Amino acid sequence: MAEKNSDFEPNIVAFLCNWCSYAGADLAGTSRIQYPPNVRVIRVMCSGRVNPLFVMNALQQGADGVLISGCHPGDCHYMQGNYYARRRFMLMRNFLEYLGVEPERVRMSWVSASEGAKWKEVIEEVVNGVKSVGPMNKFQRRQLNW
Amino acid sequence: MNGKPKIGVYVCHCGTNIAGVVNVEEVVQFASTLPDVVVARNYSYMCSDPGQALITDDIEKFGLNRVVVASCSPRMHEPTFRKTLLSGGLNPYFLEMANIREQCSWVHEDPIAATEKAKRIVEAAVVKARRLEALDVKEVDVEPACLIIGAGIAGIQAALDIADAGFKVYLVEKSPTVGGHMAQLDKTFPTLDCSACILTPKMVDVANHPNIELMTYSQVEEISGYIGNFEVKVRKKSRFVDMDKCTGCGACAEVCRMAGRIPNEFDEGIGMRGAIYLPFPQAVPAKYTIDKENCLFLSKGKCGESPKCKEACQADAINFDLQDEIVEFKVGTIIVATGYDVFDARKKPEYAYGVYDNVLTALEFERLVNASGPTGGKIVMLERGKKKKKKEGEEAEAPRVPKSITFIQCVGSRDKSVGNEYCSRVCCMYTAKLAHLAKDKIPDCEVTIFYMDVRAFGKGFEEFYDRVRREGVRYIRGNPSEIFRRGDKLVVKAEDTLTATPLEHETDMVVLSVGLVPRSDNREIIDLLKLSQSSDLFYLEAHPKLRPVDTASDGIFLAGVCQGPKDIPDAVAQAKGAASAAMIPMASGKVKVEAQTSVVNEATCRGCGFCVAVCPYTAIELVEVNRNGWPVKVARVNEALCKGCGACAAACLSGSIQQRSFKDIQILPQIQALGVK
Amino acid sequence: MVEVEKLREIAREVISRDDVRQLIGYRQGTYGFRARPAFITSPEEVDQLIFSPACVNNLATYLTLEEKLPVPRGQEPDLRKVAVMVKGCDSRALVQQMEEKAYERDRIVVLGIPCTGVVDMDKVEERFPNVLSRGEIALEGDKFILSFDGRREEVPKEELLADKCKRCRYPTPLVYDQLLDQEVARFADDDYSDIVELEKRSAEEKWAYWEEKFSRCIRCYSCRNVCPMCYCEDCVLDRLNPQWMRRSVDLSENTAYHIARAYHLAGRCIQCGECQRVCPVEIPLMELNRKFYKDVEELYDYEPGTDAEAPPLLATFKVDDREDFIL
């Protein structure tokens, strides 16, 4: 049984596309909208850059959850990247669920550059979801301290 | 990069924006423990001159070859600090920024949690910085020539502006004459300028301008290349008339055996022409064209004893052996100004267009009121398809003048049932104009307009709308449901929604204010140029607010209604905007291409083509290389076309194609730094 | 059933051609009932070729597996065609390889064998253990006939038939230059009932199931080596720069390996089942690949290995693809 104690603060890795989601997250910042500090961001130019194996790698390295956020369909700065991302992550999420990785750990969102408020909602939804399923303790990599 | 990475980490206070929440000393202390970090400092405002000097001094003092700035968002100051590195003698792409303001100190209240997160963000930036590479910023030359596709008012205006600035213009028009739809109009709203009078001088200019090569009756067949270096192939269709010899006298058209038997496209099918024709008297170029589908000689091989046009031509200009000509040339920029079609009113069968002769589209009505139109500017009831032969000695029946004309607005616009949700923007005003012209030509005619809203938003529009109502045009708010015949009248069934009264309005003639729709042949341009369409199927601009004339492809611009419905002043303004945008790269002569492009490791690539298939810019192609004596296909990136999105890198199963600055080997350590608890 | 003499006749004809350098078929194995691949380069060798329900190997994998030795200076590479015998399922590998431009259609000569099913060798060996002398398997009606050591045993077909054959959708090859027998009509379909059953379990039960399986993995890479779709020059799964997963035999790394390989096969695995067959520790690899296969079919209406002109699955999208999981 995964521990679900109230002290559990999940560690969530997020991939944000530069043109929409990263800008939306910045907007949340300039608007001083407060949200939980559990999400750490990696910036990519497009959600289409995110290889689903990054999700696997993040969970293996110790992240409790992964979030990929991009532009709304039709608005991708590079026209199509988010459509590819949508297909890839639908498949990867289903597959990881099939192995026993709770779907709350693999999330995706469309956040545009003007949706600072939505970014906060997305963070809260994702953090609460991961909290409800506890720390990721399946197939964790052993860390070697040389 | 020679030797080990030597990383300098700079943590900005940003006044109290960061330092008020994040313990910057602790972050600096932490950063200095990270491998390969040679120096770690904090400062109040890193973007200021002294802040930037810290970096350039340390580059010299410590031989730094990587820089991490932990401060605001890279979307804020990445360009600033890239310049700092450049001025310190370092390639600007050795910079990595850690966003500890917008995404940390400004959004987290708890200083302990915020500091902890800031440390992790800095660590991720340091591990990425360790693996950054120097990138070249490439420039390509720009050919100082522009291709403009479409010679309506937008294409013409853009061509004149660019040509006047001294650049070469290739203006390609599909139909035999320039002028587009504006040439078909009689008067323009709200000033009631004569459309032909204001257009024809520009048409003549465009034909005579030394910098403009005008190709009419021509189509663009192929375009390849990229901004600054487009290779264009145009097919100049044969008119079967020698353009150098034709004087435009018209003797051929008078004797053509098909004269008066082919519906004239320019007159929307109301007027007729022959197989050899000039679309309208002021056509530019004023050269006749033989329509090979309808010409008896060209389609059936025989025209009576011999073609009469050839006999009649004094200049011996008619030559049935002339072939299409293919021309190829290079341009630096392209403007698409292909215009529009009007909505096909047969898609609204309840309005009985095509069933009753006197249900017209607005463009047909425009041709009726036009003095150079098929009725010489007289508004008369139509008898379509019937050609009454004059019996010997009998007077031709005088055409009837309608006593009442009814307009119906929003036909094919604002209408989900036909798939056009948008408003066509010009119809309220052109309906008011046509109503005014109807009243002007037939003073005692009852003119009624059925509308949903009246959109009179522009300069002089509201005043014109007022004037038209004062002239006695009656506006009834209600969208008619159907049109049917009663005796010799048409009946428009509608509801006056302002008084909630259903009514059956009897009228002689109905004019449907059809909306503007994308051209039925716009697929050709889309395929040529890889343009995108908006949800309304007009061409998609790069950004709806800030880049209305650009497309997602550099060097290709949009002007006129092909980008979205608009009236003549807006089309002209946009054309001038597109011309100006096109002139920027042509004037500077060089254009920068994206540095964070993708690159293929040809040794590991297996030539499967997944990257080629996903690239939105067709920037990747498979080329044959020699691998140990065997011919194999591998992917190769055209760095001028690549925009740096990275979709290829995620699609590649062998990890052979990678995006510079966002390679797997640069991202995976970031994941480790952020993921490990 | 394929007549051996006709098969050898056609093979002789093909390998005698000037433009064919090699023919890949089946011959009898070293012991027991097994068959093994045959690589013949001259008409004299044709008489060793066979076809029977023991011919389980997917020969399409050899087209991409073949090591291309460096061509000595002054010599030209031998670009002649390769002929290959394929069953229905194997032919899908050819189609998929051509979809991925591994080679052009005119570089191969395909001898298609419409297949009525092959045996599961594990089931055969369980039924008749320790048979060291060479035996043969034939199909007569709905029974397998096993001939060995002077004995003749009859076994009902469904007791020895490979599981994958019980779900076969394409018994007749989808691409061929010549068919070596009459076409076989489809006799089965796949309803993914095994996947659906696993999907119903709780997260804990699922992980417990897979944890046990992945713990057994010894990273022998047999699954990858036998797979016709795995032919990258330098596989990301054991690359060091960057390193996605460690090569150590460790639950975490093994899991990462299997997730990554299954994902790489999404929209590409043509269900030949070879990976599961060759796994020395009996990991049910098809249960991994078929999960992707089922989702790909249900969500995107795509079946790999059926149309060489189709674009790759993950290089396409529809504007209305499902996105109910996206915030």
pLDDT bracket for residue B389 (50, 70, 90):
low
pLDDT given at position C326: 94
Domain span at C262: 193-315
pLDDT given at position B527: 80
Average confidence (pLDDT) over B248-265: 93
Residues C25 and C127 both lie in one domain: yes
Asked if residue C24 lies in contact with residue C93, where contact means CB atoms within 8 angstroms, the answer is no
In a domain, A4, yes or no: no
Asked if residue B569 lies in contact with residue B426, where contact means CB atoms within 8 angstroms, the answer is no
pTM of the model: 0.76
Least confident of B379-393, B540-554, B635-649: B379-393
Average confidence (pLDDT) over C215-222: 96
Residues C171 and C252 both lie in one domain: no
Residues from chain B that touch C239, judged by Cβ atoms under 8 A, are 655
Asked if residue C247 lies in contact with residue C219, where contact means CB atoms within 8 angstroms, the answer is yes
Write the single-letter amino acid at B676.
V
Q: What is the mean pLDDT of chain C?
A: 94
Best C67, C233, C235 member to test B by mutation, with max B CBs in 10 Å, is C233
Q: Given a cut of 80, is residue B566 above it in pLDDT?
A: yes
pLDDT given at position C2: 82
State the smallest CA–CA distance between residue B432 and chain A in angstroms.
37
pLDDT given at position B332: 97
Residue B209's Cβ-count burial label (10 Å; 0-12, 13-18, 19+) is middle
C-alpha B576/C-alpha B582 separation (Å) is: 10
Q: Given a cut of 60, is residue C101 above it in pLDDT?
A: yes
pLDDT bracket for residue A3 (50, 70, 90):
very low
C250-265, pLDDT tens digit by residue? 999 999 999 999 999 9
**In chain B, % of residues over pLDDT 90:** 87
pLDDT bracket for residue B392 (50, 70, 90):
low
The strands making up B37-43's β-sheet, listed across from edge to edge, are B37-43, B7-12, B66-71, B95-99
Q: What is the 3-state secondary structure (H, E, C) of B162-186?
A: HHHCCCEEEEECCCCCCCHHHHHCC
Q: What is the DSSP string of C215-269?
A: HH-----HHHHH-TT---SS-GGG-STT-SS-SS--HHHHHHHHHHHHHHTTTT-
A78–C contact, CB cutoff 8 A:
no
Q: Which residues contact B171 (CB under 8 A, 6 or more apart)?
A: B148, B151, B155, B156, B159, B178, B206, B212, B213, B214, B215
pLDDT given at position B220: 97
DSSP H or E segment with residue A125: helix A116-133
Residues C250 and C153 both lie in one domain: no
Of A133, B668, B610, give the one whose Cα is nearest residue C314: B610
In a domain, C320, yes or no: no
Residue A130's Cβ-count burial label (10 Å; 0-12, 13-18, 19+) is buried
pLDDT bracket for residue C66 (50, 70, 90):
confident
pLDDT bracket for residue B127 (50, 70, 90):
very high
Q: What is the mean pLDDT of chain B?
A: 94
Q: What is the mean pLDDT of chain A?
A: 92
Residues C92 and C118 both lie in one domain: yes
Residues from chain B that touch A37, judged by Cβ atoms under 8 A, are 104, 107-108, 110, 113-114, 116-117
In a domain, C184, yes or no: no
pLDDT given at position A146: 65
C174-194, pLDDT tens digit by residue? 999 999 999 999 988 999 999
pLDDT bracket for residue B592 (50, 70, 90):
confident
Residues from chain C that touch B655, judged by Cβ atoms under 8 A, are 236, 239, 242
Q: Which residues contact A88 (CB under 8 A, 6 or more apart)?
A: A50, A51, A52, B650, C314
Q: Which of C179, C202, C225 is where one domain is finished? A: C179
Residues C273 and C302 both lie in one domain: yes
pLDDT given at position B619: 92
Q: Which of C179, C209, C225 is where one domain is finished? A: C179
A37–B contact, CB cutoff 8 A:
yes
Residues C51 and C149 both lie in one domain: yes
B39-84, pLDDT tens digit by residue? 999 999 999 999 999 999 999 999 999 999 999 999 889 989 999 9
Domain span at A117: 12-133
C-alpha C123/C-alpha B456 separation (Å) is: 83
pLDDT given at position B393: 55
State the smallest CA–CA distance between residue A7 and chain C in angstroms.
22
In a domain, C36, yes or no: yes
Residue B263's Cβ-count burial label (10 Å; 0-12, 13-18, 19+) is middle
Q: What is the 3-state secondary structure (H, E, C) of B122-167?
A: HHHHHHHHHCCCCCCCCEEECCCEEEEECCCHHHHHHHHHHHHCCC
In a domain, A1, yes or no: no
In a domain, C141, yes or no: yes
Helix (H, G, I), strand (E, B) or coil at C156: strand
Nearest to C233 among B604, B631, B665 (CB): B604
Q: Nearest chain A residue to C259 by CA: give it.
A: A56
Q: Given a cut of 50, is residue B251 above it in pLDDT?
A: yes
CB contact under 8 A, A42 and B113: no
- Number of structural domains found in chain C: 2
State the smallest CA–CA distance between residue C197 and chain B in angstroms.
30
Of B39, B104, B116, B46, give the one whose Cα is nearest residue B78: B46
pLDDT given at position A2: 45
C194–A contact, CB cutoff 8 A:
no
pLDDT bracket for residue B137 (50, 70, 90):
confident
Residues from chain B that touch A85, judged by Cβ atoms under 8 A, are 650
Q: Nearest chain C residue to B666 by CA: give it.
A: C242
Residues C58 and C157 both lie in one domain: yes
Residues C23 and C164 both lie in one domain: yes
Residues C173 and C202 both lie in one domain: no
pLDDT bracket for residue B529 (50, 70, 90):
confident
Q: What is the DSSP string of B571-634?
A: HHHHHHHHHHHHHHHHHHSEEE--SS-EEE-TTT-----HHHHH-TT--EEEEEEEETTEEEEE
Nearest to B606 among C232, C239, C311 (CB): C232
The CATH number covering residue A39 comes to 3.40.50
Q: What is the ipTM of this complex?
A: 0.95
Nearest to A86 among C208, C255, C317 (CB): C317
Q: What is the 3-state secondary structure (H, E, C) of B288-316?
A: CEECCCCCHHHHHCCCCCCCHHHHHCCCC
> CA dihedral in degrees (B653, B656, B660, B661; nearest 10)?
60
**What are the phi and psi torsion angles at C115 (to 5°)?**
-115, 135
In a domain, C105, yes or no: yes
pLDDT bracket for residue B386 (50, 70, 90):
low
C304-324, pLDDT tens digit by residue? 999 999 999 999 999 889 999
Best A57, A80, A90 member to test C by mutation, with max C CBs in 10 Å, is A90
Nearest to C68 among B604, B628, B663 (CB): B628
Q: Given a cut of 90, is residue A77 above it in pLDDT?
A: no
C266-307, pLDDT tens digit by residue? 999 999 999 999 999 999 999 999 999 999 999 999 999 999
Best C65, C73, C79, C100 member to test B by mutation, with max B CBs in 10 Å, is C100
**In chain B, % of residues over pLDDT 70:** 98
CB contact under 8 A, C296 and A139: no
Least confident of B112-116, C36-40, C145-149: C145-149
